[in-house]
Structure 1
């Protein structure tokens, strides 16, 4: 199935084609036609399954037949748990909407920064992507209105509830019009998410995309014990001595990603970073270069790694371990796909030893460990 079968118009299909999206993900195949028909939706799918485009594309389609709005009256409200996700969602709206006949202004608002520039920037905004606390702040300043909002999206509802936003969400729901289309996406359906969907969704279509079991048998896993100050040289040593041509390196923070790329470039290794501080357009361009072989190393954080889907990726390196065993399995699962073998390497500093044992226990596999102390890393 392609995007052409989902009911999207030619301008939007062209925008999808420009970004080199070919086949919709399962959640997109199921959700887009439902949202286009105006039904409420309850979507259960794991993080990184393509949920954002599932609502962005039909919402942009919906706007193509709508006239100009009242100023500061938000027509589409997307609630998200974090600043990073707010920026990411707005990027996707802008990416697909930039060349459409009916242009739509989308904006992200979140706490931790001055509210005044956000109040000024709300002029003529039609799509607002907001964290709950900052939205209530803006409403208290009368900087916008949601009394005529026509579409509400809750993205990562379970995470919003886990972060303690339940009361804020209830306050926001009270201010919204009763007549609207409501869309709720969540990775899980616990009692708290169930209670919210019972309260805000009307006869919703329920879509549940089961999480695929990751087959780790095709992935050779190894790890190196290393002191913190030798991690960078060891990474470069492995890439150069093993003549790696395409390697995905995972880190835990955007600053680490940028610093790592700087060191790789200084040592003659073509590399680029992909993280939440990069625009969606920049991330797409970087990923295309990596897939085509123009980049040897792509350094990524977990937040954006969900969108990295490469059929024949030979190497994944954990420069830093993720917090959870599930994230570890997701990371290494970027390789060993489509029946091809792959290799996953982890760099383990002394402080990681206990955590890595837990990861191996949860995974049900033992990873072969190597000492790196006798490796001559001078010059790397």
Structure 2
């Protein structure tokens, strides 16, 4: 494995990396950073928690610190993301690495759900903008910024952009970008939507796909278990798991916003502090729920798959699949929320009789094996 010194990064940036405790680059960083520094278009595919964000943040900072700073509203690098939570997460990574550089790079995250005025006022001198599509278009229409001088255009969680209904916004934004630019696409999975994005941008990027066997992460970092439970006992059994084990900071996955809200209500009625987070919630509500979860104000966060892409929590101990996802890839992505950065995590799945066949398919496709434990003997009275 290479060191960060081998990737073409300058000494000041490497000092920041070492100060933050990073010793060796992840595989996606080993391949993506030199390719981006050389000016190539890149499509990076790697699972969540594999170091994708730093693989484009580091080379963008490296390239911009060697250029002349600006004091106008022409940004140099644009990073599009599907959610507010992901925008904030990426902005924090930029802040972490933007220390002791030859010159400071002004970065900013913009998103909807809050007043646009402070964002408009803050645009002067911004070189790197991390934005959700809707708010970016709002700012452009208010003449708060220009895309005419964008030299680097990145899309993170590219596979989710179209699933969350950003087709029209993406077309508008791409049409405003200069034809001569570097394009970076990053995603947890390589699917038709990512290929569609590549076609819309009319690019033939270097494709860097990091494949990590699901069972490798499972055996080393994630302790997985599954419990057979009837539909009627599923809610009480979830409460039993949380209370009897005194679980704190539990991320629970469900398939719909309706289930998320109903489950949240029942947990709170039973003395478990919980909040839901899904696409039908306002940006402000989602931010507050995530902040309460991170600070320990609530013990349980219930989320749908689309929203969970923007959740980053260091040392998240427990993930529970209250409902199974549709695909094995989404299953691996869900459990990958825990067991990050070499920390041991737990992943628990609740399996009804109707789920058993689908759960077997997930295990087969993901090349994992999880013994299905009985829950019949557990007394759920009072839960």
Q: Which deviations, in whole Å up to 9, do the C-alpha atoms of 1:127-181 show, x marking residues without a partner? A: 1111222211211111111111111112222211222323322221221122222
Equivalent in the alignment of 1:212: 213
Equivalent in the alignment of 2:244: 237
Q: Structure 2: how far apart are the matches of 1:330 and 1:196?
A: 21
> What SS does structure 1 have at the residue aligned with 2:22?
coil
Equivalent in the alignment of 2:61: 60
Q: Structure 2: how far apart are the matches of 1:117 and 1:353?
A: 52
Equivalent in the alignment of 1:363: 363
Structure 2: tracts of 5 or more residues without a match: 255-259, 274-286
Q: Which deviations, in whole Å up to 9, do the C-alpha atoms of 1:90-111 show, x marking residues without a partner? A: 1111121144342122112222
Residue 16 in 1 paired to residue 23 in 2? no
Q: Structure 2: how far apart are the matches of 1:32 and 1:124?
A: 25
Equivalent in the alignment of 2:85: 84
- Write the mapping of 1:300-339 to structure 2, written as runs, cut at 5 A: 302-303=308-309, 316=318, 318=320, 320-321=322-323, 323-324=325-326, 326-332=329-335
- Write the mapping of 1:1-380 to structure 2, written as runs, cut at 5 A: 1-200=2-201, 204-214=205-215, 221-223=225-227, 225=229, 226=233, 228=235, 231-232=238-239, 234-238=241-245, 249-252=250-253, 277-278=290-291, 302-303=308-309, 316=318, 318=320, 320-321=322-323, 323-324=325-326, 326-332=329-335, 344-346=347-349, 354-355=354-355, 358-364=358-364, 367-371=372-376, 373-374=378-379
Deviation at 1:119, TM superposition (A): 1.4
Deviation at 1:374, TM superposition (A): 2.4
Q: Structure 2: how far apart are the matches of 1:12 and 1:276?
A: 34
> What SS does structure 1 have at the residue aligned with 2:215?
coil
Equivalent in the alignment of 1:268: none
Deviation at 1:319, TM superposition (A): 7.3
Deviation at 1:360, TM superposition (A): 4.6
TM-score by structure 2 length? 0.71
Q: Structure 1: how far apart are the matches of 2:374 and 2:356?
A: 11
Structure 1: tracts of 5 or more residues without a match: 241-246, 265-273, 287-296
Q: Structure 1: how far apart are the matches of 2:28 and 2:102?
A: 26
Cα-Cα RMSD = 4.3
TM-score by structure 1 length? 0.72
Q: What is the total number of aligned residue pairs between the two structures?
A: 340
Q: Does the CA-based 8 Å contact 1:28-1:51 persist in structure 2? A: yes
Give the direction of change, closer, same or farther, for the CA distance of 1:326–1:39 in structure 2 (3 Å limit).
closer
Q: Which deviations, in whole Å up to 9, do the C-alpha atoms of 1:162-210 show, x marking residues without a partner? A: 2232332222122112222221223444455435424536553222223
